[in-house]
Structure 1
Amino acid sequence: MERLAFTMKLFPGQVEEYKRRHDAIWPALKYLLKDSGIKDYSIFLDEGSLTLFGVMKVEDAAVLGPIRDHPVMREWWAYMKDIMETNADESPVQTALREVFYMA
């Protein structure tokens, strides 16, 4: 099991909308993530900088590549692009983080 962490960034004034959309996450998206081996997925917010911090456990990080092309993921990205920084393909701008400490 691998643990991955990354940051993303919200646009100003979009914290509550981001939370609302995730509280009502689409069942198809939740199924896609779980079926791909993603487990224990959390997203935290630094309210001062509007930086989101995501952390997840995944069976094999290689499965994340194909998820990017799944229609449900593409639709979710299009749905979220108005409230957060995104790339030209509508995926969220993400910065992978390197683990420097872990205590089990």
Structure 2
Amino acid sequence: MKRYGMVIKVKPEKLEEYKKLHQNVWPGVLKTIKECNIRNYSIFYKDGYLFSYYEYVGDNYEEDMKKMAQDPVTQEWWKLCKPCQEPLETRKEGEWWAEMEEVFHVD
């Protein structure tokens, strides 16, 4: 299992829309998340930033992320969410959410 933390900005005028979307995430999106070996997934908000945390339990992260990106229901979901978000300028090439470095963990 590997833990992932990611961050992105949320547009202030879109915050309530983003929260409302996530009160009723589509069942097909949740199904794909699970099928792509993501567990314990949370999104937090603070001062204009969204922070996501999840645990990956599969053995081929790149393939699972490709599978998720190719899912038509997930693509439609992202079309609703992306206009609410503003990627960090410091993100790596190809990233939407910027992956964070884990600097501490304790069980």
TM-score (norm 2): 0.82
Matches within 5 A, 1:18-37: 18-37=18-37
Match of 1:51 among 45, 49, 61: 49
Q: Which runs of 5+ in 2 are unaligned?
A: 88-93
Q: CA deviation at 1:85?
A: 2.2
Match of 1:94 among 65, 81, 97: 97
TM-score (norm 1): 0.84
Q: CA deviation at 1:92?
A: 7.8
Which consecutive aligned stretches of 4+ in structure 1 deviate over 4 angstroms post-superposition?
none
In the alignment, the residues of structure 2 paired with residue 9 and residue 93 of structure 1 have an alpha-carbon distance, to the nearest angstrom, of 10
Map of 1:71 onto structure 2: 72
SS of equivalent to 1:9: strand
> 2:86 corresponds to which letter in structure 1?
E
In the alignment, the residues of structure 2 paired with residue 3 and residue 57 of structure 1 have an alpha-carbon distance, to the nearest angstrom, of 4
In the alignment, the residues of structure 1 paired with residue 43 and residue 82 of structure 2 have an alpha-carbon distance, to the nearest angstrom, of 17
Higher helix share: 2
SS of equivalent to 1:25: coil
Name the Cα RMSD after superposition.
1.8
Identify if the C-alpha distance between structure 1 residues 92 and 11 changes in structure 2 by more than 3 Å, giving closer, same or farther.
farther
SS of equivalent to 1:82: helix
Q: Which shifted more, 92-101 or 4-13?
A: 92-101
